[in-house]
């Protein structure tokens, strides 16, 4: 089967609305091409004409198709050298992401001077707000990816809140629109490909930035396969761009507690991807629910007006949380509430919710014999095993304090232990 090719350099133009547009073509097959375009708003920005962003965008779809990838113009030597490790990570998470050969010439190493701006991706959510607060004096510019799936009224409100928050934080904001979801969603899962997508945006801006912060959803205790991950993110960097994964040290509750008294964040908070009409957050999806739980545990839910409906504890109890990270967030909140004794009603709802959750499938562990990847295998194996042992132990310990569901906790912990055998 012939390789997927990227043989042309991108074209850069300015459209009638003042946006800067960069376009290029991915030759998927003899009869099929993908014309991808990105529009950057604001003042004229220097954009990279290198093929690094296009390589990053094409990698995961090519892996899913089991097709080699060929580029005719030079790319970053460091990025090219990191692709085997990147591919190994995705392949061990999901075998449908097959290892492929990537062929491209490399350009000379210009050396890292660190003189560019420091940027942070800004979604308006808990994690990005936390990272911006943490590095407020170091971050020069915020980058926001416009949501192409949002309804027009909701999208306008969402962008208005993002712009307002950036202005009140005193940071320039770059808003980017693109059609790349049509391409990525045809071949990959957004849960995995979103990290590569936002890294491509950063690589377009390498004439302007030299460091980028990615705010992660997870803690050291709750890591699971995801497109934004501390093992992956630094590997997308180049000789001129440093990529930093941030936020592993803080739980969602700890991040939210930093918002106390900060009206910028509480009035602009957006965590939902359901895109309901004219609302920032639906209040009913997984991300909304565990964020609302953390806000209530912190005593801040009544000060955050961005959710469409109040927190319904019975709905919470009966909701199926299908990720380790979501369940871990509930456990962290339950543990904090037990220590504080401030909200027994929420505490009891969290116990009931955790007690009725069904076991999750076991995460895959890295296999293979490549000695160069032994450290990587050890790290991922350690994260996976430690997470599941700790989750089993915490469920058993926390739920056993309530005698009525003591046996449920023991059963759930026993099942979690069996997954590791």
- pLDDT tens by residue, the chain, 421 residues: 899 999 989 999 987 777 899 999 999 999 999 999 999 986 667 899 999 999 999 999 999 999 999 999 999 999 999 999 999 999 999 999 999 999 999 998 887 777 899 999 999 999 999 999 999 999 999 999 987 655 666 677 888 999 999 999 999 999 999 999 999 999 999 999 999 999 999 999 999 999 999 999 999 988 889 999 999 999 999 999 999 999 999 999 999 998 888 888 999 999 997 767 678 899 999 999 999 999 999 999 999 999 999 999 999 999 999 888 899 999 999 999 999 999 999 999 999 999 999 887 654 433 333 444 445 544 554 455 445 555 655 665 565 555 444 444 444 554 444 444 4
- Structural contact between residues 397 and 413, judged by C-beta atoms closer than 8 angstroms: no
Give me the number of domains the chain comprises: 2
Residue 280 domain flag:
no
Q: Rounded CA gap, 253 and 93, in Å? A: 28
Q: Rounded CA gap, 104 and 353, in Å? A: 51
End-to-end CA distance of the chain: 40
According to DSSP, residue 261 is labeled: T
Closest of 401, 321, 397, 332 to residue 359, by C-alpha: 321
Please spell the DSSP secondary structure of 174-212, one letter per residue: EEEEESHHHHHHHHS-HHHHHHHHHHHHHHHTTTTEEEE
Residue 53 domain flag:
yes
Residue 281 domain flag:
no
**For residue 261, what pLDDT is reported?**
82
**For residue 155, what pLDDT is reported?**
74
| Alpha carbon of residue 234 to chain centroid | 14
Collapsed DSSP state (helix, strand, coil) of residue 95: coil
Residue 219 domain flag:
yes
Characterize 82-104 residue by residue with b for buried, 16 or more Cβ atoms within 10 angstroms of its Cβ, and e for exposed: bbeebbbbbbbbbeebeebebeb
Residue 354 domain flag:
no
Q: Rounded CA gap, 201 and 217, in Å? A: 19
Residues 18 and 167 in one domain: yes
Q: What is the CATH number of the domain that holds 84?
A: 3.40.50
Residue 50's CB is within 10 A of a number of other CB atoms, namely 22
Phi/psi of residue 338, nearest 5 degrees = -65, -40
- Structural contact between residues 97 and 64, judged by C-beta atoms closer than 8 angstroms: yes
Residue 228 domain flag:
yes
Residues 187 and 44 in one domain: yes
Last residue of a domain, one of 222, 246, 270: 246
Please spell the DSSP secondary structure of 361-392, one letter per residue: PPPP------GGGHHHHHHHHHHHHHHHHHHH
Last residue of a domain, one of 196, 219, 246: 246
Q: Rounded CA gap, 215 and 134, in Å? A: 11
Q: Rounded CA gap, 21 and 15, in Å? A: 7
Residues 41 and 181 in one domain: yes
Last residue of a domain, one of 231, 246, 261: 246
Tokens in use for 363? 């995460």
Residue 268 domain flag:
no
Residue 270 domain flag:
no
181 Cβ partners below 8 Å, 6+ apart?
148, 149, 190, 197
Q: Rounded CA gap, 219 and 230, in Å? A: 10
According to DSSP, residue 248 is labeled: T
Q: Match 């050396």 to its residue by tokens.
A: 111
**For residue 149, what pLDDT is reported?**
59
According to DSSP, residue 32 is labeled: -
User: Rg of the chain's alpha carbons, rounded to an integer?
Assistant: 22
Q: Domain of residue 207: give its range.
A: 4-246
């Amino acid at each position: 089967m012939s390789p997927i090719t990227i043989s042309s350099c991108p074209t850069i133009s300015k459209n009638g609305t003042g946006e800067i547009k960069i376009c290029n073509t991915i030759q998927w097959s003899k009869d099929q091409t993908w014309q991808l375009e990105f529009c950057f708003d604001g003042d004229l920005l220097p954009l990279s004409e290198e093929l690094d962003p296009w390589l990053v965008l094409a990698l995961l779809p090519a892996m899913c198709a089991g097709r080699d990838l060929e580029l005719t113009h030079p790319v970053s030597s460091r990025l090219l050298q990191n692709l085997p490790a990147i591919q190994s990570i995705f392949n061990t998470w999901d075998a449908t992401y097959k290892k492929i050969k990537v062929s491209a010439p490399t350009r000379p190493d210009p050396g890292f001077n660190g003189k560019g701006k420091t940027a942070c991706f800004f979604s308006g959510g808990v994690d990005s707000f936390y990272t911006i607060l943490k590095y407020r004096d170091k971050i020069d510019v915020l980058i926001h990816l416009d949501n192409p799936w949002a309804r027009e009224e909701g999208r306008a409100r969402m962008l208005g809140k993002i712009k307002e928050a950036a202005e009140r934080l005193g940071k320039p904001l770059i808003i980017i629109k693109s059609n790349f979801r049509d391409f990525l969603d045809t071949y990959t899962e957004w849960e995995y490909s979103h990290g590569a997508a936002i890294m491509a945006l950063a690589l377009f801006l390498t004439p302007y930035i030299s460091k980028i912060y990615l705010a992660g959803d997870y803690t050291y205790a709750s890591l699971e396969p995801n497109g934004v991950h501390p093992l992956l993110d630094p590997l997308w960097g180049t000789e001129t761009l440093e990529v930093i994964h941030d936020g592993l040290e803080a739980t969602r509750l700890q991040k939210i507690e930093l918002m106390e008294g900060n009206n910028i964040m509480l009035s602009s908070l957006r965590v939902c991807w359901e895109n309901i009409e004219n609302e920032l957050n639906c209040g009913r999806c997984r991300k909304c629910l565990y964020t609302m739980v953390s806000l209530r545990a912190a005593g801040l839910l009544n000060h955050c007006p961005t959710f469409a409906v109040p927190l319904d504890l019975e709905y919470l109890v009966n909701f199926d949380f299908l990720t380790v990270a979501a369940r871990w967030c509930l456990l962290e909140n339950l543990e904090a509430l037990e220590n504080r004794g401030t909200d027994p009603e929420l505490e009891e709802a969290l116990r009931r919710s955790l007690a009725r959750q069904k076991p999750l499938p076991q995460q895959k562990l890295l296999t293979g014999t490549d000695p160069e990847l032994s450290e990587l295998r050890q790290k991922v194996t350690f994260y996976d095993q430690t997470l599941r042992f700790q989750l089993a132990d915490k469920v058993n310990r926390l739920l056993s304090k309530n005698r009525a569901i003591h046996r449920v906790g023991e059963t759930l912990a026993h099942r979690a232990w069996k997954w590791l055998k």
